[in-house]
Amino acid sequence: MHAELLLQAARPLIGPRYELFTASSLFLKHVDGCDQLTASSTNVNWTSCLDTFKCGKLTVPLQYSDPAAGEAQIALIMSPSNFSADDPNYLGSILFNPGGPGGSGVSFVEQLGTYFRAIVGPQYDLVGFDPRGVGQSTPVLSLFKTPVEAFEYYSTYPQNVNESISSFGRFYAQANILGKFAADRYQTVAESVSTAAVATDMLNIAKALGQDKVNYWGVSYGSILGATFAAMFPNNVGRFIIDGVFNSHQWYRGDWSGSLLNTDAALTAVYEACVAAGPSLCALHSPDAATIRARVDTLISSLHLAPQPVYDASDPSSIVFGVADYTVLVLQLFQMLYTPFGTAPAFFAALAALERGNASAVYRGSVTAANTGLATCAPPATAPFVVGFLDVSAPISCGDIVADADRVRTPEQARQDYAAMANASALFATTWYPLSPGRCAQWPIKAKDVFNGSFTQNTSNPILLITNTHDPVTPMVGALNMSSGFAGSVVLQQNSTGHTSLSGFSTCTAEAIHAYFANGTLPAPDTLCQTDTLIFESPSNSSGYDGVTITPLKRAVGEGHTLKEAARMLARSDFVAKSSGLFGRRW
């Protein structure tokens, strides 16, 4: 879901600068009048930025339960509606959240707003916000002060608890250190970034925009944020979409055991797609899925016993070297399941090369390869360094756990939690556990504003929940569970593999979203939307729309998109994957 750690690895760092996303740099580099941008108030003073957008900040209490604790400033970006506020066609604003936790809503709308616009229509302002502690919102949650310090921590943090006999114990010790960093350096901030606090911020954003109800589109962890808002403020729910739905009941117990219920089935679905594609489109093609699975399992076992050295000096100015091992391969296999339509063909080609004895491609795409660049990065002297995933995500997810009894305090408890997850997927629990609930082991901080209410609510407008048939970390049962509590809500199923519906191109899903935002029309119960493309397809079919090839992800400013084109472009983006933990070390 979120903990979606580390696809940034797919684009390794080059030289002394790191290509960390984001709106942080976008604001600093491109916004005219930064003084206005950093000025915050209980109203939003918008200023033009990024050619066609407006930017601003909203001041809110740092802790709603303790007004004396100080203030936080929430960074906002808006893609304005084509209609003025007094035009009858104007329908207000939609808030967006890309997941994480720790994903930047500002960057989400800045980078993908043109495609969201084509799907939802011109009637809305599209508003992205950086949740408290994230991105341009302040105070910033930054546990590590320099890239070198972060590298010291992350270079030894186990990405797999089955790599060696000591891996589980090392992970547990490393999680303890992370909590000590938080308590020592950012106790007050870490106590103030709960999901409940962000949900309350959403209501305040809407009110600052002159609206009583919140329209919303949230994915992955954004589904937890959305469900929490709907439970806290059921009378303020507008047109509301949550996609890639995590079971929020389990979230607040720190229980991720159900997140891998469909992961092995998702992997099987990709293997079956390879079989159907044929040898010309899938490099691992075999007569059946079982044979492909056996080939991949053999590679995993081989690297577990005999990791492969990689030394590629084809570019003398940037020699690539390292070790392709069990952890590298299992994590990449897991990453691929987030966005198989965009990554499976190349990854399977890398696996075929590994069968032939060439581990270079597998290593180049790894988190390990990306992390090596961290040691040479030099951040601005005046800027706090936010490394990404664990140090931003952990205070949010771990602070949200309501009952002290649900908090992991001993290695024995951690092993029990891991065993429960491994019952669903023995292979992927090895990498998912240390990167998701395991990071909360011995976490010393509890959020000041914690949600402890009911997810059974009559909302002022019915909610649309969207789920993939084979989502690797938010199985469909989560959407069904949450829908059962929200009266009148509907679950739309997209028949695809990947994390959230945005991982696959479906005109059917895009049209359902458009109809819902345009006039409140929900799809019929049990609607099943097919995708327009296959995981493995010819480049001529995957590179354009209706025979027209479109190379760049973005077009010129002001140039429009059709709904179908926008849906396909969103499916080509890996933004949601990177916002989530597994792909989200933003280095």
Asked if the structure places residue 271 within a domain, the reply is no
Quote the pLDDT of residue 377.
52
Report if residue 218 sits inside a domain.
Answer: yes
**Assigned token pair, 137:** 């919102």
**Cα(176)–Cα(171) distance, rounded to whole angstroms?**
9
Instruction: Answer yes or no: is 352 within a domain.
Output: no
Dist CA 99 CA 107 (whole Å): 12
Closest by alpha carbon to 326, among 348, 353, 299, 346?
Answer: 299
Instruction: Say what the pLDDT of residue 149 is.
Output: 83
Element (H, E) at 477: helix 476-485
Over its C-alpha atoms, the chain yields an Rg (Å, rounded) of 22
What is the Cα–Cα distance from 271 to 282, expressed in whole angstroms?
10
Instruction: Round to whole Å and give the CA distance between 518 and 121.
Output: 7
- Please state the pTM of the whole predicted model: 0.89
| Residue 5 included in any domain | no
- Per-position pLDDT tens, the chain of length 587: 543 332 222 222 222 222 222 222 223 222 233 233 334 456 899 999 998 999 999 999 999 999 999 999 999 999 999 999 999 999 999 999 999 999 999 999 999 999 999 999 999 999 999 999 999 999 988 888 877 788 788 888 888 999 999 999 999 999 999 999 999 999 999 999 999 999 999 999 999 999 999 999 999 999 999 999 999 999 999 999 999 999 999 999 999 999 999 999 999 999 999 999 999 999 999 999 999 999 999 999 999 999 999 998 888 888 889 999 999 999 999 999 999 999 999 999 999 999 999 999 999 887 776 666 555 555 444 444 444 556 788 999 999 999 999 999 999 999 999 999 999 999 999 999 998 889 999 999 999 999 999 999 999 999 999 999 999 999 999 999 999 999 999 999 999 999 999 999 999 999 999 999 999 999 999 999 999 999 998 764 443 323 223 233 343 333 468 999 999 999 888 777 776 655 433 22
**Encoding tokens for residue 384?**
């706090």
CB 340 within 8 A of CB 497: yes
Vertex 56: Cα angle to 54 and 57 (nearest 5): 160
Whether 212 is in a domain gets the answer: yes
Report the pLDDT value the prediction gives residue 582, as an integer from 0 to 100: 53
- Run of H or E residues at 330: helix 326-338
Long-range Cβ pairs for the range 154-158 (8 Å, 24+)? 154/371, 154/374, 154/387, 154/390, 154/585, 155/371, 155/374, 157/390, 157/434, 158/327, 158/434
Closest CA to 5 of 582, 433, 585: 582
Query: Which CATH number covers residue 53?
Result: 3.40.50.1820
pLDDT at 308: 96
Cβ burial, residue 297 (10 Å; 0-12/13-18/19+):
exposed
In degrees and rounded to multiples of 5, residue 163 shows phi and psi of -70, -40
Q: Are 214 and 237 in contact (CB under 8 A)?
A: yes
- Residue 417 domain flag: no
Distance CA 287, CA 580 (A): 34
Distance of CA 224 to the CA centre of its chain: 12
- What secondary structure letter does DSSP report for 213? S
Residue 542: predicted pLDDT: 44
pLDDT of residue 365: 80
Residue 152's pLDDT is what? 84
Cβ-contact 178, 190 below 8 angstroms: no
Contact yes or no for 187/449 (Cβ under 8 A): no
Is 201 inside a domain boundary?
A: yes
Alpha-carbon span 578 to 8, nearest angstrom: 7
Total of domains in the chain: 1
Other beta carbons within 10 angstroms of residue 384's beta carbon come to 15
Domain-embedded: residue 490: yes
| Alpha carbon 59 to chain centroid, angstroms | 26
Specify the pLDDT at position 142: 81
Which domain covers residue 98, as residue numbers? Answer: 47-141+191-248+450-576
Q: How far is CA 387 from CA 236, 364, 390, 483, in A?
A: 35, 21, 8, 35
